[in-house]
Amino acid sequence: MDKPPFGVLIANLGTPEAPTAKAVRSYLREFLSDRRVVDVPRVLWWLILNLVILVIRPPRVAKAYAKVWGPEGSPLMTISRAQQRALAAALKEEYGQDIPVSLAMTYGKPTMEEAGRELRKAGAERLIILPLYPQNSSSTTAAVHDRYSNAMAPCPHVPAARWITDYHVHPGYIGALANSVREYWAEHGEGDRLMMSFHGIPQRYEDRGDPYPSQCRATAAALASELGLNDEQWICSFQSRFGREEWVKPYTDHTLEDWGKAGVGRVDVISPAFAADCLETLEELDMENRETFIEAGGKDYHYIPCLNDRPDHIGMMVSLVKENADGWS
Contacts to ligand L6N33NVT by CB under 6 A: 13, 15, 28, 32, 37-38, 57, 61, 74, 76, 133, 137, 139-140, 199, 201, 212, 240, 242, 273-274, 278-280
The nearest distance, CB 240 to Fe ion, in angstroms, is 4
Compute the distance between CA of residue 111 and CA of residue 174 in angstroms, rounded to an integer. Answer: 30
- Provide the mask over 150-189, with x wherever binding to Fe ion is found by CB under 5 A and - wherever it is not: ----------------------------------------
Interface with Fe ion, residue 74, by CB under 5 A: no
CA distances from 254 to 72, 121, 272, 293, 303 (A): 34, 50, 19, 9, 17
Question: Are residues 6 and 127 in contact, defined by beta-carbon separation less than 8 angstroms?
Answer: yes
- Provide the mask over 220-259, with x wherever binding to Fe ion is found by CB under 5 A and - wherever it is not: --------------------x-------------------
The nearest distance, CB 192 to Fe ion, in angstroms, is 25
CA distances from 201 to 64, 111, 137, 140, 170 (A): 21, 24, 9, 10, 22
Q: CB under 5 to 8 A by kind: which of ligand L6N33NVT, Fe ion, none does 84 bind?
A: none
Q: CB under 5 to 8 A by kind: which of Fe ion, ligand L6N33NVT, none does 74 bind?
A: ligand L6N33NVT
Compute the distance between CA of residue 84 and CA of residue 314 in angstroms, rounded to an integer. Answer: 9
- How would DSSP label each residue in 244-263? SS-BSSSBHHHHHHHHHHTT
Q: Which residue, 80 or 102, has its beta carbon nearer to ligand L6N33NVT?
A: 80
Q: How many CB atoms are closer than 10 A to CB 17?
A: 16
Q: CB under 5 to 8 A by kind: which of Fe ion, ligand L6N33NVT, none does 82 bind?
A: none
The nearest distance, CB 155 to ligand L6N33NVT, in angstroms, is 28
Q: CB under 5 to 8 A by kind: which of ligand L6N33NVT, Fe ion, none does 76 bind?
A: ligand L6N33NVT
254 is in an annotated binding site: no
Closest CA to 274 of 248, 241, 308: 308
- How do 160-163 and 126-131 pair as beta strands? parallel
Question: Are residues 100 and 7 in contact, defined by beta-carbon separation less than 8 angstroms?
Answer: yes
Question: Are residues 206 and 213 in contact, defined by beta-carbon separation less than 8 angstroms?
Answer: yes
What is the dihedral sign for C-alpha 94, 104, 76, 207? negative
Q: Which residue, 40 or 227, has its beta carbon nearer to ligand L6N33NVT?
A: 40
Residues of each annotated binding site: 199, 280
Interacting residues toward Fe ion by CB under 5 A: 240, 280, 284
Residues of each annotated binding site for Fe(2+): 199, 280
